[in-house]
Amino acid sequence: MSRPLIAVTSGEPAGIGPDICLRLAEKDTGAHPLVLCDRDLLAERARQLNLHVALRDFVPGRAYLPGVLDVLHRPLVAPCTPGELDPANAPYVLGLLNAALGGCQHGEFDAMVTAPLHKGVINEAGVPFTGHTEYLADKTQTPKVVMMLAGETDKGPLRVALVTTHLPLSRVAEAITPATLTEVIRILHRDLRNKYGLPNPRILVTGLNPHAGEGGHLGREELDIIAPTLATLRQEGINLLGPLPADTLFTPPVLSQGDAVLAMYHDQGLAPLKYATFGKGINVTLGLPIIRTSVDHGTALDLAGTGRADPGSLFEAVREAARMAARKHS
């Protein structure tokens, strides 16, 4: 296929999203990136950053041109100053998401990539909003999605999916149920096959407790919930290893035995991943009917307009979305 057309939402206008989107003009990611943003905002931010970027209005079917950034113009609601949040622009931010999602659903775009937004300011605008992942799941009527972060390390790719995401630690154990584990593992297995091209993906599964429960002495979730669920899923042909102690799973000899890790909770999986892939990690939403990747960092309001924002994660997110799209069409 020709270069996959990837819709890139520029996110919170007062953050670093516009800054790093501008940098896509200088990097060949194997994609045809299309930035959804206010064109004047991009032009002004380019002037502030002393970046000489050629901006071109998007025309469907127009070929990719190196060094030129295609822009799908969406006007800001209110003027924007780097680093200064304004709830008035919350509808603008959500409008970018809706336009990218709609384009993916109708086959106009091959995938979407999201630059960071600011959840708090959207809520201040009176719009209940918990995050990109939940918003896209709701809009696509997807009952269950899985958060997976990924990145390259000196030992190869590291992929870490989560059973639970943004839960207080005190509520994690009660959320680890056979039904939840089964649903998450099936989605992870399916998307590793369909979106990553792995015919028989090997999934390393952590335990919940220290030492994976130490035979029941440090907790019984491994014995009563995790191990029996894994045994049932192995009968479906899913290649699972675990439950494994998380403190030794994230070592090269163990990681070499798997294609992805499934961690029980947020920090258990993402702390080692972000240490190993800092600045180059990405977020992938599994289970959606579209391809969506994202940066693994926030809006960094203090860096907006300074030229110090690192675009590495965005480059990787666009590159990975393009790879997935190419596999889908191959």
Report whether pLDDT(229) > 60.
Answer: yes
Q: Could you tell me if 47 and 33 lie in one domain?
A: yes
Whether 280 is in a domain gets the answer: no
pLDDT band at 130 (very low <50, low <70, confident <90, very high): confident
The answer on 123 and 22 residing in a single domain is yes
Kindly list the strands in the beta sheet with 32-37, ordered across the sheet, starting from the edge strand earlier in the chain: 54-57, 68-73, 32-37, 5-9, 111-114, 292-295, 282-286, 146-153, 156-162, 260-263, 202-206, 239-244
Instruction: Based on the fold, state whether residues 132 and 257 are members of the same structural domain.
Output: no
- Whole-number pLDDT of residue 1: 54
- Picking from 114, 146, 124, 32, the residue whose alpha carbon sits closest to that of residue 297 is 114
- Domain termination residue (choose one: 250, 275, 300): 275
199: in domain: yes
**pLDDT at position 280, please?**
83
**What pLDDT score was predicted for residue 2?**
85
- Answer yes or no: is 285 within a domain: no
Q: What percent of the chain has pLDDT over 70?
A: 100
- Give the domain extent around 170: 146-275
For residue 63, tell me if it sits in a domain: yes
Pair 211, 269 in one domain: yes
pLDDT 10s digits, 248-278: 999 999 999 999 999 999 999 999 999 998 7
Residue in 61, 5, 62, 72 with CA at minimum distance from that of residue 38: 72
Q: Are residues 15 and 97 in the same domain?
A: yes
**104 and 193 share one domain:** no
Whether 242 shows a pLDDT value over 70: the answer reads yes
Average pLDDT over residues 164-189: 96
CATH number, position 195:
3.40.718.10
What are the contacts of 272-276 at 24+ separation with CB within 8 A? 272/160, 273/149, 273/150, 273/151, 273/158, 273/160, 274/149, 276/151, 276/153, 276/158
**223/164 same-domain check:** yes
Residues 134 and 217 in one domain: no
> How many domains does one find in the chain?
2
Give a yes or no: residue 284 inside a domain: no
Please tell me whether residues 136 and 155 are part of one structural domain: no
Q: Are residues 134 and 255 in the same domain?
A: no
What is the pLDDT at residue 50? 97
* Same domain as 152, residue 243: yes
Output the pLDDT for position 118. 96
Per residue in 32-69, pLDDT tens?
999 999 999 999 999 999 999 999 999 999 999 999 99
- Residue 208: inside a domain: yes
Mean pLDDT, rounded, of the chain? 96
